[in-house]
């Protein structure tokens, strides 16, 4: 059995998704004939989507891109400039999971800081900038890219205080800042810090559009007009100008409606559920420092977990499959990551709690 849109699923950042679900959702879109078409991802409903995100992220201009990998690449490429280097977290997606895209395709070196940590401190930053300044062959440090929540670090969030310090520091060195906020909504629902408050500290911001808006692909990159307005040419150069993006944009806009408050409610419900489960003393779910929507669920052994998991599935509740691909995320022994997402709203906490306690 696989999860559907009515399941409660503790995997992923949005509702369960599949080819069938996407097809059904497209079928349910209203007024398909009124969707204004784009041409190679320019204009029409795509422009509506971009304008909407410029308002959400409080930036002058936005561009719809096929993937977050491309969004991070373009932002850093533009902000950093030629003959430059960019500082990134060692644990970031752009450093670990993007196949050296910036180094290979744009000739920009990435300097990784904060080995195995979610973040680095200002001392480390100062040291690396000093070393760079006395290097034999001068290169500018044009940009610092920050990922938050940090995917490889159990979704930990960079505290806003650190972001403010980084902002002042970068300003004093005339270094630009990019935010990889693929999971921006998960961060804001956890900290209750509004999206605008985060985005004001960064020149450019990327947010994923496929991870939780039910779409098969998509990313938004927002920033200053002068940086983003001609980026459609860069997108074409990199082969990312999808000829017809309208249906995808319509799907995203449809699911974006009300998402922020749904995610907030789901988050509060999820925390309440985790506390109740821990208080029952039948479960141990770790709430890490600076957590977003990722928590560590302890189990005794894989067989017992699978029996328990199957009982939950009979009630349309899905815990993660221990055999699923983790894409570089390392779990502690006998722990599996569970995630709060809007699928929790499909059942009351009383119902979910009852099924957990009766199935263990």
Ligand X SMILES: Cc1ncc(COP(=O)(O)O)c(C=O)c1O
User: Which chain residues interact with ligand X by CB under 6 A?
Assistant: 67-69, 72, 93, 147, 151, 180, 182, 208, 219
182 or 221, CB closer to ligand X?
182
Q: Least distance in Å: CB of 308 to ligand X?
A: 28
Instruction: Give helix 246-256 / helix 19-28 axis angle, nearest 10°.
Output: 80
Angstrom distance (rounded) from CA 106 to CA 241:
18
Angstrom distance (rounded) from CA 240 to CA 66:
6
207 or 344, CB closer to ligand X?
207
Q: Least distance in Å: CB of 213 to ligand X?
A: 12
242 or 312, CB closer to ligand X?
242
123 or 239, CB closer to ligand X?
239
Q: Which residues of 288-312 are buried (b: 16+ CB within 10 A; e: fewer)?
A: eebbbbbbbbebeeeeebeebbeeb
62 or 269, CB closer to ligand X?
62
Instruction: State the residue number with the nearest CB to ligand X.
Output: 68
Q: Least distance in Å: CB of 103 to ligand X?
A: 16
Q: Report the run of H or E that residue 79 belongs to, with start and end.
A: helix 68-80
Angstrom distance (rounded) from CA 86 to CA 88:
6
**How wide is the angle at C-alpha 12 spanned by C-alphas 266 and 14, nearest 5°?**
50
Q: Least distance in Å: CB of 183 to ligand X?
A: 7
Q: Least distance in Å: CB of 240 to ligand X?
A: 11
* DSSP E strand boundaries for 17-147: 61-65, 84-89, 109-113, 140-147
339 or 347, CB closer to ligand X?
339
Q: Least distance in Å: CB of 266 to ligand X?
A: 19
């Amino acid at each position: 059995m696989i999860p559907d849109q009515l399941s409660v699923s503790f995997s992923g950042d949005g509702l369960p998704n599949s080819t069938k679900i996407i097809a059904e959702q497209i079928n349910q879109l209203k007024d398909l004939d009124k969707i204004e078409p784009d041409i190679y991802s320019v204009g029409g409903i795509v422009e509506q989507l971009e304008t909407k995100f410029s308002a959400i992220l409080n930036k002058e201009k936005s561009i719809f891109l096929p993937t977050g990998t491309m969004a991070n690449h373009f932002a850093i490429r533009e902000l950093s400039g030629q003959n430059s280097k960019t500082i990134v977290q060692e644990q970031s997606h752009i450093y670990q999971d993007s196949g050296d895209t910036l180094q290979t395709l744009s000739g920009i070196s990435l300097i990784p800081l904060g080995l195995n940590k979610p973040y680095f401190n200002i001392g480390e930053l100062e040291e690396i900038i000093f070393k760079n300044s006395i290097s034999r062959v001068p290169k500018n440090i044009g940009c610092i890219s920050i990922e938050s929540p940090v995917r490889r670090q159990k979704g930990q969030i960079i505290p806003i205080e650190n972001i403010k310090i980084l902002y002042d520091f970068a300003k004093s060195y005339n270094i630009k800042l990019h935010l990889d906020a693929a999971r921006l909504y998960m961060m804001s629902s956890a900290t209750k810090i509004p999206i605008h408050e985060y985005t004001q500290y960064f020149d450019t911001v990327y947010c994923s559009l496929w991870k939780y808006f039910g779409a098969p692909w998509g990313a938004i990159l927002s920033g200053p007009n002068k940086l983003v307005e001609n980026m459609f040419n860069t997108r074409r150069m990199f082969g990312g100008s999808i000829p017809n993006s309208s249906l995808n944009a319509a799907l995203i806009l449809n699911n974006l409606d009300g998402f922020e408050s749904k995610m907030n409610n789901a988050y509060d419900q999820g925390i309440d559920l985790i506390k109740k489960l821990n208080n029952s003393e039948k479960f141990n779910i770790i709430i890490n420092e600076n957590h977003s929507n990722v928590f560590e669920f302890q189990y005794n052994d894989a067989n017992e977990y699978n029996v328990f998991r199957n009982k939950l599935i009979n009630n349309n509740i899905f815990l993660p499959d221990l055999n699923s691909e983790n894409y570089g995320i390392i779990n502690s022994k006998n722990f599996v990551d569970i995630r709060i997402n809007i699928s929790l709203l499909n059942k009351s906490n009383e119902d979910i709690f009852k099924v957990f306690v009766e199935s263990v």
